[in-house]
Amino acid sequence: MSSVESFIEDLASSTNADFASVKEFPLMPEGEAVDMGHAEDGTPLLDPRILDSPEFFRNPYPYYRILRDHHPVFHDKLHNCYWVTRYDDITECYFDDEGFNTIPKGSSSGVLGNTQLELSGVEHRRRRNLYGQHLVGQSLQARIPAIEKLANEMIDAWDAAAKDDSALCSDNGDTRQLELSSMFANEFPIRVVCEVLGFPKEAQSQFYYWYNSMMSGLGGSATHKQGVEARQDLEDYVAGIVEERRQNPTYLLDQDGNPTSKDIITKLCETKVDGDFLSTEEITSNIALIVGAGGETTRGAIMNMWTLLLRHPDQFDAVIGDGENWDKAFHETLRHSSSIGGQPRHNTFDVEMHGVKVPAGSLMQMVDFSANHDERIFKEPETFDIFRDDLYYGKLLRSGYRKEGRCSHMAFGVGPHLCPGAWISHQEAVVGSKILLSRMRKPRINESKMPKDIDGKSPAPMGIISIRELWLEYDLS
Ligand code: HEM
């Protein structure tokens, strides 16, 4: 055992394990790792305390590279888990739902309820099928005019905000300054999801509040109570409409106002399992999951995509020149800087991977971020390039995609738990961005308001946290 490993093991097994994770690491130039020592054979070592450090959050990729190259299955005794970092290994585990299952998901259950994330096999498929059809294909196509309308309504509101000289949106002569997350990206995905679920428009703002509270409730004990309360409020609200929808189903309408299919709430209300209707708790959990899973993720995708494109003007010009390139920009953004880092799995049986024995029931962290930057799959992975020839840009498949040197990114996972919202979030980000572009003349980043890197001049790296604030400026005339 290496000296760092035994040191960490001693610390982790001491009664003061929290103390063990507190260590200050220097902030390094982007792409360079702190030297954490070497084993006798020259193998670079990784001190797991780096994983909790500000340095790692802003500059994660050199550390993931150490893991991929030297410790592809890393037994982290400090956090009591195994980190799996190579694309091929992660894909294999995701496909094997029985050998690497999702139970339990930790604190999410308390806030979101009993969701399909915790299920496997037949029961998991049944739950997914209940609503999955509404988020794809023709049902989704039929929603696009509504998505466009929502985007336009949100942008229409900017004029009033600018008149009030809001801190987040103001005019200065011929230019407008605005902060994109507050003025658009935070709320847009939640509004879209509410619409598809079939909630009345008046409820959308309330949903945004429930969503925020539930999400912060997942973040830790201080906000957990607020998250559970928000979920209870959501459940009370849903209970009120369940009976009504069972009697009077409501429909999604196409752009001409013709009913296309029953909305998701109505479907869930009418569903019987073994002769019994789904309980209100089951319906609420499904709804909480869809609202919860579709918000921050799509918000992050929109924010990261705009930031990356505006910082690569030639690629931004390419999407201006040809709207089809938005699809490429969306997928390359999710490969380069996804809004979700990875997923936990628990192995059902003892396994051995890359010489590391993992006892049954261990927590194995599948690092999608690292898979997306695995140079065994993607050339120069740290480069943002919407025209790369090794990324698959086509329709995402649950079976994943790997053909003629092109692989899908891992941001939506693969296998049985592949994100069912992948298609709708794609449409939200692309349709919403096309409308944003049509309503802003010569948009650019107001870098003076953006956080800076350690040199005090260049923009702070995106790291593993999606861009929180994006200050834009555009010409009004
Ligand atoms: C860019 C946006 C999004 C990203 C990056 C993303 C990512 C993911 C990932 C990685 C998973 C797999 C979890 C696992 O393997 O354990 C997942 C699952 C899920 N996502 Fe998304 N998601 C996005 C948008 C959405 C949207 C818009 C919705 C809903 C409308 C949604 C609903 C769900 C649900 C319900 C699951 C659970 C699926 C299951 O366990 O079978 N997601 N998502």
Tens of each residue's pLDDT in the chain, 477 residues: 444 444 344 434 433 444 445 789 999 999 999 999 999 999 999 999 999 999 999 999 999 999 999 999 999 999 999 999 999 999 999 999 889 998 665 545 566 666 777 777 777 887 777 777 778 887 788 788 889 999 999 999 999 999 998 899 999 999 999 999 999 999 999 999 888 888 887 787 787 788 778 777 766 666 777 788 887 888 888 888 887 888 889 887 766 778 877 788 888 888 777 777 888 877 877 787 888 888 889 999 999 999 999 999 999 999 999 999 999 999 999 999 998 899 999 999 999 999 999 999 999 999 999 999 999 999 999 999 999 999 999 888 878 888 888 999 999 999 999 999 999 999 999 999 999 999 999 999 999 999 999 999 999 999 998 899 999 999 998
Whose CA is closest to atom 14 on ligand 1?
Answer: 417
Whose CA is closest to atom 20 on ligand 1?
Answer: 419
pTM (predicted TM-score): 0.90
If you compute the radius of gyration of the chain from its CA atoms, what whole number of angstroms results? 23
Indicate which atom in ligand 1 lies nearest the CA of residue 295.
27
Cα 216 to Cα 108: distance, rounded to the nearest angstrom: 11
Residues with Cβ within 8 Å of 317's Cβ and at least 6 positions away in sequence, in order, are: none
Task: Yes or no: say if 178 and 164 are a contact pair by the CB < 8 Å rule.
Answer: no
**CA 294 – ligand 1 centroid, Å:** 7
Residues with Cβ within 8 Å of 116's Cβ and at least 6 positions away in sequence, in order, are: 124, 127, 128, 286, 289
Residue linked to tokens 């509270």: 213
The neighbour count for residue 164, using CB atoms within 10 Å, is 10
Whose CA is closest to atom 19 on ligand 1?
Answer: 419
CA distances 89 to 61, 181, 354, 365, 414, Å, are: 18, 35, 10, 12, 12
What is the pLDDT at residue 1? 40
CA distances 18 to 12, 24, 57, 78, 180, Å, are: 8, 14, 19, 9, 37
| Torsions phi, psi for 101 (to 5 deg) | -100, 170
Peptide bond before 104: cis, by omega within 30 degrees of 0? yes
**Residue 300 half-sphere exposure toward CB, CA atoms < 13 A:** 21
What is the pLDDT at residue 218? 67
- Residues in the chain, total: 477
What is the pLDDT at residue 8? 40
Is the C-alpha dihedral spanning 89, 92, 98, 102 positive or negative?
positive
**CA 215 – ligand 1 centroid, Å:** 14
Residues with CB under 6 A from ligand 1: 102, 116-117, 128, 135, 193, 289-290, 293-294, 297-298, 301, 338-340, 343, 411-413, 417, 419-421, 424-425
Tell me 426's DSSP state: H
**CA 437 – ligand 1 centroid, Å:** 26
The neighbour count for residue 385, using CB atoms within 10 Å, is 17
Tell me 164's DSSP state: T
Indicate which atom in ligand 1 lies nearest the CA of residue 102.
16
Cα 137 to Cα 127: distance, rounded to the nearest angstrom: 19
Question: What is the per-residue DSSP string for 187-247?
Answer: THHHHHHHHHHT--GGGHHHHHHHHHHHHHHHT-HHHHHHHHHHHHHHHHHHHHHHHHHHH
Task: Yes or no: say if 378 and 407 are a contact pair by the CB < 8 Å rule.
Answer: yes
User: Which of 91, 297, 302, 426 to mutate to test ligand 1, by most ligand atoms within 8 A of the CB atom?
Assistant: 297
Cα 84 to Cα 345: distance, rounded to the nearest angstrom: 10
C-alpha closest to that of 291 among 218, 214, 205: 214
SS3 assignment, position 14: coil
Distance between alpha carbon 296 and the CA centroid of its chain, in Å? 6
Distance between alpha carbon 250 and the CA centroid of its chain, in Å? 30
User: Which of 252, 419, 423 to mutate to test ligand 1, by most ligand atoms within 8 A of the CB atom?
Assistant: 419
Q: Which two tokens mark 293?
A: 């899973």
What is the pLDDT at residue 241? 80
Indicate which atom in ligand 1 lies nearest the CA of residue 413.
10
Task: Yes or no: say if 233 and 220 are a contact pair by the CB < 8 Å rule.
Answer: no
C-alpha closest to that of 90 among 321, 278, 304, 370: 370
Whose CA is closest to atom 35 on ligand 1?
Answer: 290
Is the C-alpha dihedral spanning 280, 284, 287, 289 positive or negative?
negative
